[in-house]
Structure 1
Amino acid sequence: MSTAISALPSPNAIGRAETPMAFVKAIVMAYTQRGLDPRTALSTAQIAPSSLQQTEARITATQMEWLSATAMRELDDEALGWFSRRLPWGSYGMLVRASLTAPTLGVALNRWCRHHGLLTDDIHLQINQEQGVVSLQLQENRDLGALQEFCVVSVLRNVLGVACWLTDSRISLRQTNLRFAAPQHADSYRVLFDGPTQFNTAEHSLQFDAGYLSLPVRRDEAALQRMLQRALLLTVRPYRRDRLLVEKVRQALAEHPQSTRNADDLAAWLNLSARTLHRQLKEEGASLQQLKDAVRRDLATDLLLRTPRAIKQIASEVGFQNEKSFMRAFKTWTGQTPEDFRQARTP
């Protein structure tokens, strides 16, 4: 991964200080293990060395971004000393690229876990699903020592950040489970992970709704190149838009057109009120009419191109009450009548 660092504003201008000093000390420990001096990295992030002794001290997300980026370059290790072998610059970017061509998040995450094992066997990542809940699990295969907390938190946040970026969606966590005891800075975990965090559990894991696994991967190579300019944003800053309901609505409209003709029927199908449906879609940056149009257009064009069915029959199958209203809508979507669209694309 790569991170562009421009002229630095004062710490007072770069957000609230929420990241615990323990993570800064962990990075300094990685320098010590390599016999290197961390002062340049600390200076770049505007962190006074004396503050390392202040256990209650916090730094901002931006300072953490600067510190980590400088350390990754100076140590030539994107894992910042966590593992028994270095992960050279670009390792995590390679993992993102390997997941980029996946059709859905479920496929992408399974690829990520499998390929991460090629980089290091000190930890093992896997996806499990049971009763509609996904568990992203991290297993330690060796003693991570004093870097355990920093490693586990960073890896889990990185996978979550990449998953959100790939799908252009904020993935809401049901719960975070961590095997280690609650640290002195346990209050920071309300910022590190949304939802409740449990310590002293049997495993390290993130749990979220299985519906997210069906979200399509929405990014391409050009988007990846832009993202890699400041890739640490995926780890240090929360993703803000949740598109899970959008995808549930798309699926319901596509698979059950006769049962989702209007907002009331659709809301009932999704066990929501119509008011809640409209409000939550608005929060996700969409509207029911937009989604209806998109689903109907995609289904209509597919039927026109793949089948010889009559226009009247297609109109009914995509949820229109009559052929004329379908023809008007189709011309608005494509600029052509259904018949012209079919003829222009039929050999």
Structure 2
Amino acid sequence: MPTRSPAKTTAAQTPALGRAETPIAFVQAIAAAYAARGMDPTTALRSAQIEPKLLRKPNARITATQMEVVSGASMQELDDEGLGWFGRRLPWGSYGMLVRASLTAPNLGVALKRWCRHHGLLTQDIDVQVHVQDGVAQLQLHEAHDLGIYREFCVVSVLRNALGVACWLTDSRIPLLCTTLQFAAPAHRASYRVLFDGPTAFDAPIHSLQFDAGYLSLPVRRDEAALQRMLQRALLLTVRPYRRDRLLVEKVRHTLAQHPEHSRNADDLATWLNLSTRTLHRQLKEEGASLQQLKDAVRRDLAIDLLHRSQRPLKQIAQAAGFQNEKSFIRAFKGWTGQTPDAFRRC
């Protein structure tokens, strides 16, 4: 998906800084794309510090950094972000365009559907779709024809790219319930424990990633400025897992806003969410939030909305936002916005 030149290989990108867990089969597929166009992959391999002789060793592995560098260099040299997978090249910037088209979506569900629809405009060799059933979302990939020697590399890369984009758009790690793949288990099947969360099933009826459908309601948190920063090293979305999960944060935020009767204290809220109080606090901390922060955010948003949409007295707004008195509400509101509620309302 990158639209800019990948960073030059530096000491910070040397193979020694990562575990070699990516199968050499993916690099062999890249080399095949070069061969199909009568080109030499040596420069790209050298940029990633991959010895050409490794291509003749089926059990060889490379690091995530090496995979990022060799993919980026090859995409530029071949002018093809599809790396030979499809009947037509995907010029430099194609996958970045897909992300930009999804950036204004209100939530992940809409964003992923846009991503899939626009991917179909780039190539008809594969079709990517989102399906939801019984609380499980499936990102499905269908092949229009046999992808040949590129099949595994293409399917794995496109699915991981879509998942990486989904995680980036929502600033959330999306753990997988299951990955299903139509092809037989390769000799390097052990690498799939790193490529995808959860169990991987081979010889399956369909290529798919399956995850909790609750993630589809997460809001898109990125903007154009964030996109430009991300595109500096966009391949990281594909080669490295996202580390933060925000699903519980959004569930707590929704409960605080829509079901205040279940959120008088942490114990009541945890019971409503079918969690222990200890687990609630721990998981929120892992997601980079706290219950008090979320309570403050919900109170702030409600107070701002009421100040904008109504002429209700401050005392009533304070009560609606969960404050015991007007004085504490004014003090909190000034801390949130730097203004008193009256001054904010006059703006």
Normalization by structure 1: what TM-score? 0.96
Specify the code of the residue in structure 2 equivalent to 1:6: K
Q: CA deviation at 1:338?
A: 2.7
What's 2:156 paired with? 153
Of 207, 217, 222, the residue aligned with 1:214 is 217
- Distance in 2, matches of 1:99 and 1:14, equals 34
What's 2:320 paired with? 317
What's 1:331 paired with? 334
- Distance in 2, matches of 1:328 and 1:258, equals 24
Is 1:55 the counterpart of 2:54 in the alignment? Answer: no
Q: Is the 8 A contact 2:255 2:263 kept in 1?
A: yes
Q: CA deviation at 1:229?
A: 1.3
Q: CA deviation at 1:326?
A: 2.7
What's 1:77 paired with? 80
Is 1:246 the counterpart of 2:255 in the alignment? Answer: no
Q: Is the 8 A contact 1:257 1:318 kept in 2?
A: no
Q: CA deviation at 1:317?
A: 2.2
Of 32, 37, 41, the residue aligned with 2:40 is 37
Q: How does 1:138-287 map to 2 (within 5 A)?
A: 138-287=141-290
Q: How does 1:2-151 map to 2 (within 5 A)?
A: 2-9=4-11, 11-151=14-154
Q: CA deviation at 1:3?
A: 4.1
- Distance in 2, matches of 1:262 and 1:329, equals 19
Structure 2 residue matching 1:17: 3-state secondary structure: coil
Q: CA deviation at 1:325?
A: 3.2
Give the percent of matched residue pairs that are identical in Structure 1 and Structure 2. Answer: 73
- Distance in 2, matches of 1:330 and 1:5, equals 45
Provide Cα deviations, 1:289-308, integer angstroms capped at 9, x if missing partner: 11100111001110121012
Seen in structure 2, the aligned counterparts of structure 1 residues 54 and 278 have a Cα distance that, compared at 3 Å, is same
- Distance in 2, matches of 1:264 and 1:272, equals 9
What's 2:304 paired with? 301
Q: Is the 8 A contact 2:165 2:237 kept in 1?
A: yes
Structure 2 residue matching 1:157: 3-state secondary structure: helix
Structure 1, gaps ≥5 residues long: none
Aligned length: 344
Q: CA deviation at 1:12?
A: 4.4
Specify the code of the residue in structure 2 equivalent to 1:136: L
Q: CA deviation at 1:120?
A: 0.4
Provide Cα deviations, 1:3-55, integer angstroms capped at 9, x if missing partner: 42224338443311010011110101111111111111111111111111111
Provide Cα deviations, 1:262-311, integer angstroms capped at 9, x if missing partner: 11111111111111111100111111111100111001110121012233
Structure 1 residue matching 2:210: 3-state secondary structure: strand
Seen in structure 2, the aligned counterparts of structure 1 residues 225 and 340 have a Cα distance that, compared at 3 Å, is closer
Seen in structure 2, the aligned counterparts of structure 1 residues 3 and 208 have a Cα distance that, compared at 3 Å, is farther
Structure 1 residue matching 2:233: 3-state secondary structure: coil
Q: Is the 8 A contact 1:178 1:204 kept in 2?
A: yes
- Distance in 1, matches of 2:95 and 2:126, equals 15
Provide Cα deviations, 1:78-137, integer angstroms capped at 9, x if missing partner: 000000111011111111111111121111101000000000011001111111110000
Provide Cα deviations, 1:165-196, integer angstroms capped at 9, x if missing partner: 11111111111110111100000001001111
Q: CA deviation at 1:259?
A: 2.1
Seen in structure 2, the aligned counterparts of structure 1 residues 54 and 110 have a Cα distance that, compared at 3 Å, is same
- Distance in 2, matches of 1:75 and 1:55, equals 24
Q: CA deviation at 1:336?
A: 3.4
- Distance in 2, matches of 1:30 and 1:132, equals 40
Provide Cα deviations, 1:129-149, integer angstroms capped at 9, x if missing partner: 111110000000111011110
Specify the code of the residue in structure 1 equivalent to 2:194: V
Of 288, 291, 299, the residue aligned with 1:288 is 291
Q: Is the 8 A contact 1:3 1:232 kept in 2?
A: no
